[in-house]
Amino acid sequence: MIGINTIMKFMTLIFLSYSLSAQRGKTGQEIFSDRFPQNVEAISKSTLLISNETDHDIIALIRGQYNEYLRHVYIRTGDNWIFENMPITRFYVQFKAKEFYFEDLKRIVVNFGEKHSFYFYYDPQQEEDYKIITEQDFFKW
């Protein structure tokens, strides 16, 4: 017969594992919605797929050509997220990865109905593709 102490230890273990995993966001969450303005949407049928190919979760932030906030999303490691109805503009992507903030140096032009893809991975040999930015740069709007 199982003792009450064994049952209590088992229940505590389940509770702790649930509470630890509950602190991690889910892909698609806008976890910083309190720090940014409302998302910019457009009826453009244009999409942007962002694929997180790193070994850690990221927050992807989309900025317009004049550095204005467009959208952001939490993406778990190995997951993808598709932003739909992207505004017709030039834009670039910023990332929060672990304790660092990055900005992709490429600018992407979005026209009506286009589909774009962006694969985020960190490779020290590709460091010229990104620059490290500050937390203030990431959260400005």
In a domain, 79, yes or no: yes
pLDDT tens by residue, the chain, 141 residues: 667 776 666 666 665 555 444 578 999 999 999 999 999 988 899 999 999 998 999 999 999 999 999 999 999 999 999 999 999 999 999 999 888 999 999 899 999 999 999 888 766 555 678 899 999 999 998
Whether this prediction's pTM lies above 0.85 is answered by no
CATH number at residue 67: 2.60.40.10
Give me 78's structure tokens.
């190995």
Predicted pLDDT at 94: 95
Q: How many Å apart are CA 33 and CA 72, to the nearest integer?
A: 8
In a domain, 36, yes or no: no
Give the number of domains in the chain. 1
**Residue 57 CB partners (closer than 8 Å, separation 6+):** 24, 25, 74, 75, 76, 77
In a domain, 16, yes or no: no
Q: How many Å apart are CA 62 and CA 93, to the nearest integer?
A: 5
Give 121's Cβ-side CA count (13 Å radius).
7
DSSP H helical ranges for 3-102: 4-22
In a domain, 129, yes or no: yes
Q: How many Å apart are CA 112 and CA 119, to the nearest integer?
A: 21
Predicted pLDDT at 35: 94
Alpha carbon of 40 to those of 5, 84, 98: distances in Å? 54, 11, 26
Predicted pLDDT at 70: 96
In a domain, 115, yes or no: yes
Predicted pLDDT at 20: 47
Q: Are 134 and 101 in contact (CB under 8 A)?
A: yes
Q: Tell me which residue range forms the domain holding 106.
A: 47-139
